[in-house]
Amino acid sequence: MKKIWNSKDLCALADHSEEELRVILDTATAFKGVGERNLKKVPALRGKTMVNLFVEPSTRTRISFELAAMRLSADVVNINASASSLEKGETLLDTARNLEALRVDLIVIRHKSAGSARFLADRLKASVINAGDGSHEHPTQGLLDAFTIREKLGTLEGVRVSIVGDILFSRVARSNIEILTKLGAKVTLVGPPTLVPKTFESLGVRVAHNIDEVIGESDVINLLRIQHERQKTEYFPGLGEYTARFGLTRKRAEQLKPECLIMHPGPMNRGVEIDSQVADGRSSVILDQVTNGLAVRMAVLYLCSGGAPFAPITAS
Amino acid sequence: MKKIWNSKDLCALADHSEEELRVILDTATAFKGVGERNLKKVPALRGKTMVNLFVEPSTRTRISFELAAMRLSADVVNINASASSLEKGETLLDTARNLEALRVDLIVIRHKSAGSARFLADRLKASVINAGDGSHEHPTQGLLDAFTIREKLGTLEGVRVSIVGDILFSRVARSNIEILTKLGAKVTLVGPPTLVPKTFESLGVRVAHNIDEVIGESDVINLLRIQHERQKTEYFPGLGEYTARFGLTRKRAEQLKPECLIMHPGPMNRGVEIDSQVADGRSSVILDQVTNGLAVRMAVLYLCSGGAPFAPITAS
Amino acid sequence: MKKIWNSKDLCALADHSEEELRVILDTATAFKGVGERNLKKVPALRGKTMVNLFVEPSTRTRISFELAAMRLSADVVNINASASSLEKGETLLDTARNLEALRVDLIVIRHKSAGSARFLADRLKASVINAGDGSHEHPTQGLLDAFTIREKLGTLEGVRVSIVGDILFSRVARSNIEILTKLGAKVTLVGPPTLVPKTFESLGVRVAHNIDEVIGESDVINLLRIQHERQKTEYFPGLGEYTARFGLTRKRAEQLKPECLIMHPGPMNRGVEIDSQVADGRSSVILDQVTNGLAVRMAVLYLCSGGAPFAPITAS
């Protein structure tokens, strides 16, 4: 089989072709089985070292990458910003060069600055995986969302996906738009004009400011987390108001098509962007997203380390 | 051999029969040898993943579980509260469901709320081990204390154990009472009436407010840590007063039977609940408790993962 | 071959003979190759447990020891001060005795008190490795600096090494002086009289207060980090003044012999003790120091665990 994946890094889904993205999804499908075994380890990356460099904290993503590396038999070192030399005024590049001098094989980086992963990837021999860079991209989140839809619906071609919430500052939204449009889905962004400006239409998506307009036609509805701990209360009047206008309340959930998938990248604010019972309901695939995230990250670590892609398993 | 241990969880010693508790102690006896070897690893839990979910910090207990898992060849992921999604307002149940979606096999939880471990255990397929839930239970501490007494004295039957200190708020005391009374020891609780109310007698133990009454008759004296960093100074007048009335001073230590074991769950306040020289003296088994804690935790992780119990080795 | 290394600990280079120090360097040379392989692991310390006890934070040194242990197949547990029982008022000795009761094999300690590593080493059966104790010693830093010079110049005999900066409070300087003078190098200490008093001459080194006096004759120039986050501004007027008088500016770098090695223990304050371009220039071996640090630490962990020294590979 021709080797389709040739990159040592994954910085942004925007950098990769439809074919490359499919290779990751297909490889993830093969790895998903490992998590269901009693012995959840394969020796693929034995003797390799991965560093989780989280300059911005995130327990969930850190753990998902840590488990992915462990299941591939790699060794993991965790660095979080507050303890790191970065505090002593060292630049990100110096930190990264040091990691390379230590012959680290993979660097997973979460950082508040857009472009930080690419900046490192261009300068280091080590593989660099973006685990979220500012409001730019969060490629493995986009991949796991696409993986989940493809797994549940059999395809992404023609699937109508509504993404609801704070799109403007969301790297999750940006990575979703990249992969979903490339793989043939029809994406609608939903939220107040302050958070979902019309300019997004240039990305090949539809913009809607009224959730009730799109709710009945969606095959997938993805509720983004309202970052109320960061919000400076300028973009919408308050949480209650947000829920009333854009939350997936029980009432709105009744308007969904019965087979519509309900997604959320987590952690959820139950009762804000999504009703608590709806989040736990039959249509919710929120925990599948978590499971699939691990499979997708195994695939990414494996492919960026030079592993041979697995043959496509689904036809989509 | 009949399989006596059938639980995927260990939430409270109160949930388990005398026979089940003996199975843990017997299995721990078998595992204790592993720590004395040059190669301190057995492959029992290879490919399994344990998460240390410490929503309340505790370096000692965390490390003991971490080493126990490593010696069983399991992979370990550490989560501590301050870094976790719990801070972002996610519920404990959502955090735990996420860990389950990641196919984590064992969750060791320390949490300030009584009942938190049981709450998770009832809802998850993963094994849940309680590493201390509020002032409810700390089952592995009770097990390691019982293990240490049994190892040193050959039996628990009829052994007189005095537990001294802040019983009211102590999960250590509660787990000790559970296992010691079930295995036949005679327990006396000692402390000021504010910290050791008479109502404890309903648990089948004796209550004493004067340490000098019990000191000469004890086979084991277990000094609990005074949590002076938490104390709101309401329960006793001050540390000096506490030492004078309930501390194991050198003078009191002379009143002990020569073969009486001196125990402390650590970390010690030397000079407060226990005299520093007494803590390091010949009768002290405080460091044996630490060593045995690791063996007991290996046994618990192993049994809750479905491992076959070891045949009883001691007759007690 | 006669076994030259017989110590379970490495607390200070001052404790060891020239011959012993050469054994570490020779063993490190053999281990350096492991970091260049695809499979970066050897089974030398399989089943052993190393604890990184960092009572003073240091991400770089912690990670270097962590990777060194992993490459030797040891298990690693990280403890940092702020989370540890030390905070609850437990003494360092009690913490260490607990680690020994847990049958930990190696304790790597960084601590603010001079002599803390030796204090533990004398009381524990476990190996104790000093990762920096106050302003006393940082032996693995001295070793890696000597290793780097020997690797690049073929020998230390007669090599002129200038160490520039805050010598008075620098454990890095102290460990460098120990090993470099023992292995035959000619050391000059450079800095303001407040930070480099004449009394240092009793260690068999030269003291200079004018960097321009020594710059043209040095074979190696080692710029120490100005700890401006700790500095109480008493020892020199300010950062700009320091750079003007003692910094390796581009202009000064032009006065260096072409083959002079430029070293820095990191993390660098670019533009303060060293010009940014000079730090990245052809003569800089700063990243080699990082790579060699890992090899040196592998050698130290291995030898202190009782591993057989490797035969000398270089003749120096």
CB-closest option in B40, B267, B294 to C88: B267
Q: Decide if B59 and C94 are in contact by the 8 Å CB cutoff.
A: no
For residue A249 the two structure tokens come to 């309340």
- Tell me how many degrees the CA angle C310-C311-C312 measures, rounded to the nearest 5: 115
Render A181-247 in DSSP notation, one character per residue: HHTT-EEEEES-TTTS-GGGGGGT-EEES-HHHHTTT-SEEEEPPP-TTT--S-SSS-HHHHHHHHS
B297 CB burial (10 A radius; 0-12, 13-18, 19+)? buried
Q: Which of B138, B197, B191 is nearest to B164 (CA)?
A: B191
Kindly identify which residue of chain B lies nearest to residue A69, measuring between CA atoms: B75
Stretch B139-148: mean pLDDT, rounded? 98
* Cβ–Cβ contact A226 with C under 8 A: no
Give tens-digit pLDDT for B108-138. 999 999 999 999 999 999 999 999 999 999 9
Q: Which residues of A188-205 are buried (b: 16+ CB within 10 A; e: fewer)?
A: bbbbbeebbeeebeeeeb
From B108's Cα to the closest Cα of chain A, the distance in A is: 15
From B81's Cα to the closest Cα of chain C, the distance in A is: 11
pLDDT of residue B56: 84
In a shared domain, residues B156 and B268: yes
Contact B77, A77 (CB under 8 A): no
Give the length of chain B.
Answer: 316
The verdict on residue C2 lying in a domain is no
The verdict on residue B31 lying in a domain is yes
DSSP letter at B266 equals: S
Domain that holds residue B84: 13-137+293-304
CATH assignment of the domain containing B215: 3.40.50.1370
* pLDDT > 50? residue B314: no
C202 CB-near residues (< 8 Å, 6+ apart): none
The verdict on residue B263 lying in a domain is yes
Q: Decide if B266 and C85 are in contact by the 8 Å CB cutoff.
A: yes
In a shared domain, residues A169 and A262: yes
A162 CB-near residues (< 8 Å, 6+ apart): A187, A188, A189, A190, A208, A211, A214, A215, A218, A220, A221, A222
pLDDT of residue A209: 97
B254 CB burial (10 A radius; 0-12, 13-18, 19+)? exposed
Separation between Cα atoms, residue B214 and residue B160, nearest integer Å: 10
Q: Which residues of B touch C69 (CB under 8 A)?
A: none
Stretch A81-109: mean pLDDT, rounded? 83
Does residue A147 or residue A89 have the better pLDDT? Answer: A147
Q: Which of C167, C161, C191 is nearest to C179 (CA)?
A: C161
C224: left (phi over 0), alpha (psi -120 to 50) or beta: beta
Separation between Cα atoms, residue C288 and residue C152, nearest integer Å: 10
- Give just the sign of the alpha carbon dihedral A134, A140, A141, A145: positive
In a shared domain, residues B124 and B152: no
Question: How far are the Cα atoms of A78, A81, A96, A114, C292 from residue C60, in angstroms, in the given order?
Answer: 12, 12, 11, 25, 13
Does residue A83 or residue A260 have the better pLDDT? Answer: A260
Range 269-298 of A in CB contact (< 8 A) with B: 269-270, 287-288, 290-291, 294
Contact A313, A26 (CB under 8 A): yes
Kindly identify which residue of chain A lies nearest to residue C272, measuring between CA atoms: A89
Kindly identify which residue of chain C lies nearest to residue B293, measuring between CA atoms: C102
C244 CB-near residues (< 8 Å, 6+ apart): none
Instruction: Give the 3-state secondary structure of residue C69.
Output: helix
In a shared domain, residues C86 and C184: no
Determine the angle formed by the axes of helices A286-304 and B92-101, rounding to 10 degrees. Answer: 50
* Cβ–Cβ contact C125 with B under 8 A: no
Domains of chain C: total? 2
In a shared domain, residues B100 and B148: no
Stretch A193-204: mean pLDDT, rounded? 94
pLDDT of residue B311: 56
pLDDT of residue B4: 87
Range 30-69 of A in CB contact (< 8 A) with B: 35-41, 57, 59-60, 63-64, 66-67
Which residues on adjacent β-strands are paired with residue C119? none
Residue B187 identity (one-letter amino acid) = V
Question: Within 10 A of B183 (CB to CB), how many other CB atoms are there?
Answer: 19
* Helix boundaries (H) for B224-285: 239-246, 250-255, 276-279
Separation between Cα atoms, residue C173 and residue B31, nearest integer Å: 46
Phi, psi torsion values for C301, nearest 5 degrees: -60, -40
Contact C27, C302 (CB under 8 A): yes
Render chain A in DSSP notation, one character per residue: -------S-B--GGGS-HHHHHHHHHHHHHHHGGGGSSS----TTTT-EEEEEESS--HHHHHHHHHHHHHTT-EEEEEEGGGSGGGGT--HHHHHHHHHHTT-SEEEEEESSTTHHHHHHTT-SSEEEEEEETTTB-HHHHHHHHHHHHHHHS--TT-EEEEES--TT-HHHHHHHHHHHHTT-EEEEES-TTTS-GGGGGGT-EEES-HHHHTTT-SEEEEPPP-TTT--S-SSS-HHHHHHHHSB-HHHHHTS-TT-EEE--SS--BTTTB-HHHHTSTTB-HHHHHHHHHHHHHHHHHHHTTPPPPPP-S--
pLDDT of residue C183: 98
Give tens-digit pLDDT for C178-189. 999 999 999 999
The verdict on residue B279 lying in a domain is yes
* pLDDT > 70? residue A87: no
pLDDT of residue B227: 77
- Give just the sign of the alpha carbon dihedral C28, C29, C30, C33: positive
With helix as H, strand as E and coil as C, how does C92-132 read?
HHHHHHHHHHCCCCEEEEEECCCCHHHHHHCCCCCEEEEEE
Q: Which of C87, C75, C83 is nearest to B80 (CA)?
A: C83
* Cβ–Cβ contact C77 with B under 8 A: yes
pLDDT of residue A230: 56
B&C contacts, CB < 8 Å: 64
Q: Which chains touch B (3 or more CB pairs under 8 A)?
A: A, C
Q: Decide if C79 and B59 are in contact by the 8 Å CB cutoff.
A: yes
In a shared domain, residues B244 and B278: yes
From A205's Cα to the closest Cα of chain B, the distance in A is: 30
In a shared domain, residues C175 and C205: yes
Q: Which residues of B touch C307 (CB under 8 A)?
A: none
Question: Within 10 A of A152 (CB to CB), how many other CB atoms are there?
Answer: 17
CB-closest option in C36, C70, C266 to A49: C70
* pLDDT > 70? residue B223: yes
* Contacts of range A129-134, beta carbons closer than 8 Å, 24 or more positions apart: A129/A9, A129/A10, A129/A65, A129/A300, A129/A301, A129/A304, A130/A10, A130/A11, A130/A12, A131/A52, A131/A54, A131/A58, A131/A61, A131/A62, A131/A65, A132/A56, A132/A58, A132/A61, A132/A171, A133/A11, A133/A109, A133/A171, A134/A171
The verdict on residue C4 lying in a domain is no
Q: What average pLDDT does the structure give for chain A?
A: 92
pLDDT of residue A236: 72
* pLDDT > 90? residue A231: no
Question: How far are the Cα atoms of B83, C74, C172, C210 from residue C178, in angstroms, in the given order?
Answer: 41, 30, 10, 23
Separation between Cα atoms, residue B128 and residue B123, nearest integer Å: 10
> Which of C39, C63, C76 is best to mutate for the A interface (most A CBs within 10 A)?
C63
Range 233-272 of C in CB contact (< 8 A) with A: 266-270
Q: Which chains touch A (3 or more CB pairs under 8 A)?
A: B, C
CB-closest option in B57, B270, B294 to C102: B294
Render B174-235 in DSSP notation, one character per residue: HHHHHHHHHTT-EEEEES-TTTS-GGGGGGT-EEES-HHHHTTT-SEEEEPPP-TTT--S-S
In a shared domain, residues C143 and C285: yes
DSSP letter at C232 equals: -
Reported as type and span, the H/E element at residue B65 is helix B59-71
Range 146-175 of C in CB contact (< 8 A) with B: none
Does residue C2 or residue B238 have the better pLDDT? Answer: B238
The verdict on residue B237 lying in a domain is yes
In a shared domain, residues B278 and B143: yes
Separation between Cα atoms, residue C279 and residue C115, nearest integer Å: 33
Q: Which residues of A touch C40 (CB under 8 A)?
A: 47-49, 103
The verdict on residue B315 lying in a domain is no
The verdict on residue A312 lying in a domain is no
Stretch B188-195: mean pLDDT, rounded? 94
Kindly identify which residue of chain C lies nearest to residue A79, measuring between CA atoms: C59
> Which of C39, C60, C84 is best to mutate for the A interface (most A CBs within 10 A)?
C60
A&C contacts, CB < 8 Å: 65
pLDDT of residue B58: 86
Q: β-strand A106-111 against B206-208: which pairing, if any?
A: unpaired
Instruction: Give the 3-state secondary structure of residue C78.
Output: strand
CB-closest option in C51, C89, C98 to B290: C98
Q: Decide if B90 and A35 are in contact by the 8 Å CB cutoff.
A: no
Low-confidence ranges of chain C (pLDDT < 50): 312-316
In a shared domain, residues B40 and B76: yes
For residue B127 the two structure tokens come to 């094994």
- The confidence band for B62, taking pLDDT boundaries of 50, 70 and 90, is very high
From B47's Cα to the closest Cα of chain A, the distance in A is: 5
What pTM, to 2 d.p., does this model score? 0.94
Does residue A227 or residue B141 have the better pLDDT? Answer: B141
Give tens-digit pLDDT for A237-262. 788 899 999 999 999 999 999 999 99
Q: Decide if A98 and C41 are in contact by the 8 Å CB cutoff.
A: no
CB-closest option in A70, A267, A290 to B49: A70
In a shared domain, residues B97 and B156: no
Sheet holding C160-164, edge to edge: C206-208, C186-190, C160-164, C220-223, C261-263
Give tens-digit pLDDT for C12-54. 999 999 999 999 999 999 999 988 888 889 999 999 999 999 9
Q: Decide if A47 and C59 are in contact by the 8 Å CB cutoff.
A: no
- The confidence band for A315, taking pLDDT boundaries of 50, 70 and 90, is very low
Q: Which of A90, A22, A80 is nearest to A56 (CA)?
A: A80
From B16's Cα to the closest Cα of chain A, the distance in A is: 27
In a shared domain, residues A144 and A280: yes
From A178's Cα to the closest Cα of chain C, the distance in A is: 34
